[in-house]
Amino acid sequence: DAGVIQSPRHEVTEMGQEVTLRCKPISGHDYLFWYRQTMMRGLELLIYFNNNVPIDDSGMPEDRFSAKMPNASFSTLKIQPSEPRDSAVYFCASSLQGAGGYTFGSGTRLTVV
Amino acid sequence: AQSVTQLGSHVSVSEGALVLLRCNYSSSVPPYLFWYVQYPNQGLQLLLKYTSAATLVKGINGFEAEFKKSETSFHLTKPSAHMSDAAEYFCAVTPGSSASKIIFGSGTRLSIRP
């Protein structure tokens, strides 16, 4: 298995632009998680899905952030409009029931200038 | 509610020395516990996990951790540090087999001195 695949690896965008981050989970995994990592706040859980349904989005910072999972093999995290404070590394992770541990992707490093 | 506290945001040891990274947990139900490692510019990788079987858990790269209920601890150890062990280490907890969401600690950066 190729693992959790995220794209792009790096994204540089101007303030106000729309940004879309993509994630392909491991085939057969039924949970998908989006995390954000910064030096100041560490790892923050933004949202997670079970069987493509959003379960908990309480970590989504504000309405500028949205996430979808149209099918079991694809998820997106969208920021519109982007702001410099959104600069961070965004990770996607998947699991077969969370208690078994997650498999993380390599992350997308987002820089908003 | 579940939480983990990692003692020491930065630990530095000499190559060949014992590595000890401390983690204490809080959980109202029997927990599952994890250690993850993050190398620079990479995602987190599962090192080992405790799921209520043996209290001494062995993981990859020579690491192990012991679950001590009386101390609510799950410290990570390695007998002899290697330069390649330099990374960020995260302790994490989830409330047992029925849970889906893992709570991560704030991380400990391990540096290895030559």
DSSP-assigned letters across all residues of chain A? ----EEE-SEEEE-TT--EEEEEEPPTT--EEEEEEEETTTEEEEEEEEETTEEEE-TT--STTEEEEEEETTEEEEEESS--GGG-EEEEEEEESSGGG--EE---EEEEE-
B43/A100 CB distance under 8 A: no
CA gap B114, B109 in Å, rounded: 16
Q: What is the mean pLDDT of chain B?
A: 91
Collect all residues of chain A within an 8 Å Cβ-Cβ radius of residue B34.
101
pLDDT digits (tens, 9 = 90+) for A57-101: 999 988 999 999 999 999 999 999 999 999 999 999 999 875 567
CB pairs under 8 A between A and B: 53
A4 near B CB under 8 A: yes
Which pLDDT score is estimated for B77? Answer: 98
pLDDT digits (tens, 9 = 90+) for B20-54: 999 999 987 888 899 999 998 889 999 999 987 78
**Residue A32, CA distances (Å) to A4, A18, B9, B38, B113 in order:** 10, 22, 28, 19, 38
pLDDT digits (tens, 9 = 90+) for A30-65: 999 999 999 888 899 999 999 999 999 999 988 999
Cα of A35 to nearest chain B Cα, Å:
11
B44/A50 CB distance under 8 A: no
